[in-house]
Amino acid sequence: MSIFTRFLGRLGASLIVLIGVSMLIFFIARIIPGDPARIALGPRATEAQVEQMRETLNLNEPIIVQYSLFVGDLMRGDLGISLYSNRPVMTDLVEYLPATLELVLLAGLMMVMLGLPLGAISARHCGQWPDNLVRVISLLAVSAPAFVWAVGLVLVFAYFTPLFPITGRISDTLDVERLTGFMLIDTLAAGRFDAFASALHHLILPAFALALSGIGQAARLTRSNMIATYEQPAIEMAQAYGFSEARIARRYAFKPSLIPSLTIIGLDFAALLGNAFLVEVIFAWPGLSRYGVGVILQKDLNAIVGTVLIISATFLVTNLIVDFLVSILNPRIRYSESSR
């Protein structure tokens, strides 16, 4: 079975999962307490106005009919109007998703770039002071949720030592045309390096707050996997050959330990989409996670379904990529799947 065929198979399975998620969230959203029409119109609205809104939203139709209408609209790329923002849900998703993805991508990058090296250093110096230091730091990082770190970082780097901005994606005084919604890309595309620097400056603190727990997790995993790898006969053999410690660590201990770490980082990365909510709130980050919670509290049915579908799709795509990377790193996985 070729990689392409396997990829197509996974893609098909992901689509089935997505359809299942759409049905599930469509029905669950309607079970959440509260009349969306009444919430949207407020307590002073007359019964006639509420009824009119319910008709507009098709809420008086049987739920199966509502779902079929939803699927029909979805096929046309129409997710309806959000009662939360009074805009098309698709417009909201297109506007807010890139902000969250940009935040999560940088957080994921930090997890890889900081977490893995820290774990490797810790394992290589097992029992020594660098190991102890990394273990304490990583334990601290995983023991508190992202929003606690976010508040702490705001306190340290904005309140006591004003080094970083704490709201928005770019300086108020800079204006960059939106192309992709990814501020780093748009600023570069516009050739605005000042704006790029500002966007990066705004991104660092929220991304670091979001990534900290994952960095700790990645460091701890990498450390334990590398230590386990060090106990393998292959390492003894490499030492017997007289290879340098650095070479052994880099080539024979680190690479095998990457596989479980990468799987976990992949899952963590997808979970960041959901966990980003409080970080987005604290840093006034105009992202999808914050939007998602807002629409749930307002029982904005169209927006709830749209948001969950997008997050699910991102989760599935991330898993596809991670599976693909793992199969490249570990030929045994590739071959075992091929032989089935």
Partner 1 sequence: MTQPINTDHSLGSREDWVMFNQGQGFLMTLDTKTTLLGTTLLALTLAAAPVAAERILRADEVAVGEIDPAKGTDYADTVLAINLYDTLVYPKQGGSGVQPHLASEWTIDGSTYTFTLRDDVTFNSGNPLTAADVVYSFERMIALAQGNSSLFAGVVESVEATADHTVVFTLAEPFAPFLATLVRMPVVDMATVQANEVDGDWASTWMSQNSAGSGPYIITSHDPQTETVLAYETDYFLEPVEGYPETVRFRYGLEPSTVRALMSQGEHDISSQWLPPEVYAGLAEDGATLVTEAGLTGEYFKLNTQRAPLDDVHCRRALAYAFDYATMAQLTQINDDTSTGTPMSGAIPQGLPGYDASLPVFAQDMALAQEELALCAYDPAEYPLEVAFIAETPARERGALMMQAIYSTLGFDVEIVRTPWALLTEQVTAPPTAPHVVEIAIAAASPDTDSLLYTMYHSSQPPTWISSSYYANPELDALLDEGRVETDEAVRQEIYAQANAILAQEVPDIFAYELLSPFAVRDGVTYHNLADPARSYPVSGFNMRFADISLPDAN
Q: Which listed residue (117, 130, 260, 294) binds partner 1 by CB under 8 A?
A: 294
- Does 201 contact partner 1 by CB under 8 A? yes
Binding status of residue 73 toward partner 1 by CB under 8 A: no
**Residue count at the site for partner 1 (CB under 8 A)?**
60
58 in contact with partner 1 (CB under 8 A):
no
3-state secondary structure of 57: coil
By CB under 8 A, tell whether 177 contacts partner 1.
no
The footprint of partner 1 on residues 17-36 (CB under 8 A) is 32-35
Task: Report d(CA 180, CA 134) in Å as an integer.
Answer: 38
Sign of CA dihedral 67, 68, 74, 80: negative
150/226 with CB nearer partner 1: 150
Q: In whole angstroms, how close is the CB of 165 to partner 1 at the nearest point?
A: 3
Residue number, 9 or 34, with CB nearest to partner 1 = 34
DSSP string, 140-206: HHHHS-HHHHHHHHHIIIIIIS--S--SSSS-TT-----SSS-HHHHHHHTT-HHHHHHHHHHHHHH
Verify binding: residue 41, partner 1, rule CB under 8 A: yes
Residues 270-289 that bind partner 1 (CB under 8 A): 281-284, 286
Question: What is the rounded distance in angstroms from the CA atom of residue 70 to the CA atom of residue 64?
Answer: 10
Q: Which stretch binds partner 1 (CB under 8 A): 3-11, 62-70, 106-114, 153-161?
A: 153-161
Task: Candidates 97, 299, 308, 322: give the one binding partner 1 (CB under 8 A).
Answer: 299
Dist. CA 138–CA 269, nearest whole Å: 17
- 252 touches partner 1 by CB under 8 A: no
Residue 84 or 230 having the CB closest to partner 1:
84
CA gap 154, 326 in Å, rounded? 36
Residue tagged 């705001």 (tokens): 154
Burial class (CB in 10 A: 0-12, 13-18, 19+), 159: exposed
Span near partner 1 by CB under 8 A; candidates 17-25, 129-137, 189-197, 225-233? 189-197
CA terminus-to-terminus distance, the chain: 9
Query: According to CB under 8 A, which one of 149, 164, 252, 277 is a site residue for partner 1?
Result: 164
In whole angstroms, give the CA distance from residue 177 to residue 175.
7
| Contact flag: residue 53 with partner 1 (CB under 8 A) | yes
User: What is the secondary structure of 209-261 as a DSSP string?
Assistant: HHHHHHHHHHHHHHHHHHHHHHTSHHHHHHHHTT--HHHIIIIIIIHHHHHHH
Q: Which stretch binds partner 1 (CB under 8 A): 110-118, 122-130, 193-201, 252-260?
A: 193-201
Residues that bind partner 1 (CB under 8 A): 32-35, 38-49, 52-53, 81, 84-88, 95-96, 151, 154-155, 158-159, 162-168, 171-173, 194-195, 197-198, 200-202, 204, 281-284, 286, 290-291, 294, 297-299
